[in-house]
Amino acid sequence: MRYLEKIYRLYIESKKMPEIKIEEITEEEKIEIEKKFRGFPVEKKQENIQKNKLQFGEVYFFINRVPIYFMINANLDGFYSVYKVSDFVDFATNRDYIFKLNGLYYMLETWNEFFLTEEEIKNALFIGKIPEEDLQIINSVLYEGKEIPEKKRGLTLLPEGNYPQLKFQKDELEDVYKYIVRIFHIIEEEDFMNSIYNSLIEREIPVPSVAAAAGKELFAERNDFLMRKEKDELIVKVINKNLIGKNGTITIFGKEYTGIIPEYFRIKIPERLSEVSVEYFADNLKIEVKDES
């Protein structure tokens, strides 16, 4: 634990740097910056990587207040879904996929998806592409809900405890928070979120003491969805592809909402429930396809 605390302090120090806008510097200067922070030269972005040729598994680097690595996932309406990548593999948990690129170890934070524009990616620094054998496994983790193989992941942590890994995860989320919430400019679901919020305020939700005591948790995972806490909101990603886009119901603490099931939605947390465990929210959320018979 003391070792990880030292690594954590190193991680925090690595983020204390002047703000540099990648698009305002030359390609040569980009490589010098990368050498400084990584200690090795990276590939120049190849000319044949066109705007519409961004590929699943490509890893890029840019600086926005702090250095940020990310992996291309998929093209959405106006944005690209990407996942944060980190070279601080000492903090890997069972949610992180460890891989090797350019002779160094990185981890893909499968719990930390955010959204960038094509222009932002174009102005980032291309690091390389994750090996195909790793991408096949990553694809099955992201799209089929499979577990990360034991040899490719970090430790499984108990939800309670002051682990450096959990502090690290919170910081990683904070670094890309403004990019995470962009998804809600794509998905118009304000009425739905307000309806849930008003329901949680108006109703007396019973909260066991054990649920309130575990308020530091940031993540919960169920067969049909992933849930993470972002400030005063819960962001839910539906991972069961048999539910997305179908006419169905979302039930929260017994309150039912009917409509088309989105891939993402968020739940604004009332102040009196702000310290409630994410696991408790997840235990009381159910997503089902409506029976058409």
Are 12 and 146 members of one domain? yes
Are 22 and 165 members of one domain? yes
Are 42 and 104 members of one domain? yes
Are 14 and 53 members of one domain? yes
| Six token digits for residue 141 | 């983790």
Q: What is the pLDDT of residue 198?
A: 80
Are 13 and 156 members of one domain? yes
Residue 13's Cβ-side half-sphere holds a number of Cα atoms within 13 Å equal to: 6
Last residue of a domain, one of 150, 178, 206: 178
Average pLDDT estimate for 197-224: 76
Task: Name 251's Cβ contacts closer than 8 Å, sequence gap at least 6.
Answer: 257, 285, 286, 287, 288
Task: Indicate the number of domains in the chain.
Answer: 2
The Cβ of residue 67 has, within 10 Å, a number of other Cβ atoms equal to 20
Q: What is the pLDDT of residue 226?
A: 87
Q: Give the pLDDT band of residue 124 (cuts 50, 70, 90).
A: very high
The phi and psi torsions of 182 (rounded to 5 degrees) equal -60, -25
Are 153 and 254 members of one domain? no
Are 168 and 247 members of one domain? no
| Six token digits for residue 87 | 């070279």
* Identity of the residue numbered 234: L
Are 270 and 251 members of one domain? yes
Give the range of the structural domain holding residue 272, as residue numbers without chain letter. Answer: 187-289
Last residue of a domain, one of 154, 178, 202: 178
The phi and psi torsions of 156 (rounded to 5 degrees) equal -90, 125
More confident residue, 280 or 134: 134
The Cβ of residue 66 has, within 10 Å, a number of other Cβ atoms equal to 15
